[in-house]
Structures are given as structure tokens and as C-alpha cells.
Structure 1
Amino acid sequence: MRAFVFPGQGSQKVGMGAELADNSAIARATFEEVDDALSQNLSTIMRDGPEGELTLTENAQPAIMANAIATLRVLESEFGVSLTDAGDCVAGHSLGEYTALCAVGAFSLAETALLLKLRGQAMQEAVPVGEGAMCALLGADLEKAEELARAAAEGQVCEIANDNDPSQVVLSGHAAAIERAVALVKDHGIKRGIPLPVSAPFHCSLMQPAADRMAEALSDTPPQELALPLYANVTAAATDDPREEQDLLVQQVTGRVRWRESVLAMRAAGVEHFVELGGKVLGPMIGRIDKDAQATSAITMEDLEALAKEIG
């Protein structure tokens, strides 16, 4: 069995998608479609920057999605590999869940771009700049991270945002609580705590205003039928029910990204090969979660050509 997976925020970089666009009319058309949907030259920001503009949450989220869908469309159109024929399920890390839904036909490309633009804006506006923060814990399992979060909270929000792999957990919450968490890592047997360069505390209860806005947006643009099952971030379980997925996308804004558990659930279901499109972030994580899992990451034409041969 094979899963197609899609990266989340942090995988953006200036120049993303340029090589695909230079070599593929399909990729260029994909980026133009997103530009038209957003009434914005997002593809220019992706190609040329400035980096600060691309890193803005409201730009980074649709940009990462556009790059991944362009990669998928090139794979399908130019290398003859159909996601629905070659894959058995899909998943995405945080915003990547929207990309996965686009890939299986639950949202159109234009709908996905608009939803992610709004999601980025809503998450940015939910908490005043400087009041929230996030940190990555290296050498931390879930139990140690939970103990640290409880100790650092002191009446404020300090919650697990991402359970990425056995060696990396991310905390999110009030800035002062996250500072305390970083200072306390050694006391909890954790190797390092690294403050993350993010503009808002994603995936914690402080994001409730953003969840409310997404609930409204998703009621106007609900997901349609999924061509393949999707493993959702907040449950680490498969669903092919659009109504259930609509609710899970709302929960996802404040909920934990259970990526480690999602990969283990896909492995338990029989997935042997994970294909990451549009990034090279999830592949290494998957390798740390299960060293026996096969993971391939593709972002260039050369990568896609090799992937097509690998899939056969």
C-alpha cells in the first residue's frame, strides 16, 4: 500500500516551484490558477521573494499548497502516475491536510487557495503579535513533553501543538509560558528547547477565534466526496466522510497535529511506501517514526521522473 503525504508550514522557501514552472506548462497553469483565485501574484513571491513576504502565514499556506499540487499535477500529466491509481490513502501535516483534500477532489484548487488564505489570516489575527509563541522540543517523547507543558503553564496556555516524531514535539501557547518551557527542558530530561520563528501560537486553544472563522468558511465551502481515504491530523485515523472531515478541519485549528500517530496508523493499515510531494520534510520524519517504512520525497522534475520509475 502507498500513501501520498503533503507538507505543512515551514517548508516554504524563496524559489519554490520555479524549476517546475520553468519546465512544465502544467505547473505554470497551476500557479496561475492560484494567482487568479487569490487576485494576487503569489507565484512571483514564491519565485522571487522577498522571504519575509513569503513567510507571512497568509502567503506561506497557499504557497505550500500550490507548490505541492503543481508537483502532483506534473507527476500525473507528464509522468503518467495517477494518485488515485497509485495511492491507497492521503494525509497532510497541518495545512497539508487541505492540500491532501484538494489532491483527492474534496476541494477545487481555487477553493483550497481561498480557504488557506483565510486560514492564514485568521490564525495570524487570533492572537496579538508577541503574546503567543511556539518551541520545538528535541529529544522529547510525548510523556516528557506533556509533563513539561503542565509545569510551564502556571495558569497560562502551554499545550502540545505537534507530535511530529519520536524525537520532536512542538509546544504552543502564551509567550511567557513557552519561555518557561524552554528554560525547564533539562529538568524534564529533554535535550533541547528551541523557540520557533513563528508569528502566532498555532494548534492550541488560543486559536479558537480562528477556528470559529474556519467553521463559518467551511460551512460555505464544505468538502465534497474524497476519492481516497484521508488520515486526519486530530484523530490520526482514516475518514472518507466529507461531513466528518469538515468538522475535523475546524478542530484542527486548535487541536494537536498527531503526525507520529498518523504514520503509525497508516503503517498498521498496511502502508509500506510514503510519497511526499512538494517538500522534503515529512520523509525524514517518517523515517524516524518507523525505520522500516519506505519514504520518497519529490520536489523537482528529476525527483518526479525517479518516482515514476519507482512506482512503475
Structure 2
Amino acid sequence: MLTQAQSQLHTIRDLLRFAVSQFNKTGLHFGHGSANAYDEAAYLILKSLYLPLDQLELFLDARVTTDECKHVLEIIERRVKERIPAAYLTHEAWLGDYSFYVDERVIIPRSFIAELLGKQLAPWIKAPEVVSTALDLCTGSGCLAILMAHSFPNATIDAVDISVQALAVAHKNIQDYGLEDKIDLIESNLFSVLQKKRYDLIISNPPYVNAESIAQLPQEYRHEPENALASGEDGLDATRLILQQAVRYLTEEGILVVEIGHNRAALEQAFPELPFTWLETSAGDEFVFLLQREQLPDA
């Protein structure tokens, strides 16, 4: 593909058309930032050529050098042949207006909790400036901890993950945002090393993919760490532990916010006594729940 195409593609428009054709022809899966072949091709080409991501039209008919063409085609070829998600090829992922470094040590950020943090979890948190302690459980790349730091300016934040490799990525992102004084990284299996800490807010986007779905994942997702995706037969292993233990780590007025993927029905069946509040996101109210401390087991 590479050698033959390189001699016939001269402009960014040529490269864009070629990439879209290749992505559609090979049936790539898009679930890590782009929704279709065109958007992903445009992003990869602009990023590879160090061009502004919002100015494609301006550069469509610009000619590319031989080396530039070769570089872009190598990226396209890796996306097609190896099914590597675009974010791992560029080492960049976005949540809203925030950009984060990512590689295959962490899953690619895609949390609905980010939307809710952008609104400072209103109306559930009436005075964001009063939040003094917060916890991001299963922090991965550190993206949600960083968003919390921006949403709750007076909070000190603990960002926890079981993976030392993930924490190394989170450390880079926290440094990039200059938040080393606000966010502490902690290696822990959920709450296990947090001892007597208490938090006004606990958020978590834990592993939640069930065994059946893990077996059917597109190849793109298999580049992500499985332990950040899989959570037992029904996808609720991590969430069960969080619900059983969170009450001991929340302040009296504290709240717990957890993302659970497509598991709402299974979760409500497993915990029929809990009065889950399902928060509205851009995709509906099926994916993120909220509980106040007094509503948790053994409160």
C-alpha cells in the first residue's frame, strides 16, 4: 500500500481521500474519540503534519513533501493493519477542551463524568469552593483528577490506581498541567491503602465490561490494558467493592459518583435497596449514578 500510493498522492486532499477509503474498506472500528472514517482520517493527517486541528479546509490543497507523505502513509498503514487506535498513534486524547498524553499503559479517556465535572456536579454540589478533599478511584491517565482540580479549586485530590504503569502516565499529565501540589498519586487496589482518609467527593470510572462483551471487543480495544476494562462475569466486580466500602471514606455530606457503562439494569437488580440517582449525560441517564453517603450500605 505504502510504496504504490506515495507516488500518486500529492496534497492533503489526496491523503484524506485515500485514508477515508482505506478506513472504510477495512472496516475499522471508531470508538476512541472519532465517530467515523472521515473525522479520524482528518485528525490523523493534521496531527501528523503538525497543523491546527480546526483548519482542515485551509490546507486541503497544500502539497506535501515526499517525507511528509511517507510519514502520513505510515500512520495510516499502522491504523489499518494493526488496528491501533488513533490516540495511541498520536499519544493524545481529548476530554472536552482538555488534552492528555496517552499510550498503551492506560485506556483512552472517554468518560461521561467529564461532562458532569464541567458543570461542577450541579445541583448536587451547591458550593464547589467548599469541596476540600476529593478522590479519583481508578484514575488511569489522571484525566478526571485533573478535571476535578479545575472544577473544585480548593480541593486536594488523591488519584488512585492499581497499575504502576498507569500512574506513570498520570504523573506526566499532572506535571503537564502544573498540578503536582493539588493531586497526589497513590498506588492502591481501590481503597486498600487509603486507611482513615475521608473525602467530600469520590468519583470513579472503574473497569465495567462484562465477560461476554470482553470476548466480543473489536480489535482496537484489545490494545488497551484488559485490567482497566474487564470486571468479572457481569461487569460489576469493581463497582460492588466500591459500593461496599465507599461509606468508610466519605465525609458526612460526601457523595459518590460512579460510571458503569451499559450495566444499569444489572446494577439495579444486584442492589435493589439502593436509591441510585442516575445523572443526565449527552448519551442519556443510563451510565453514571450518584449516591449520598447516608444512602450507602452501613451508613
Q: Report if TM-score (shorter chain) is over 0.5.
A: no
Q: Which has the higher helix share?
A: 1
* TM-score for the superposition, normalised by structure 1: 0.31
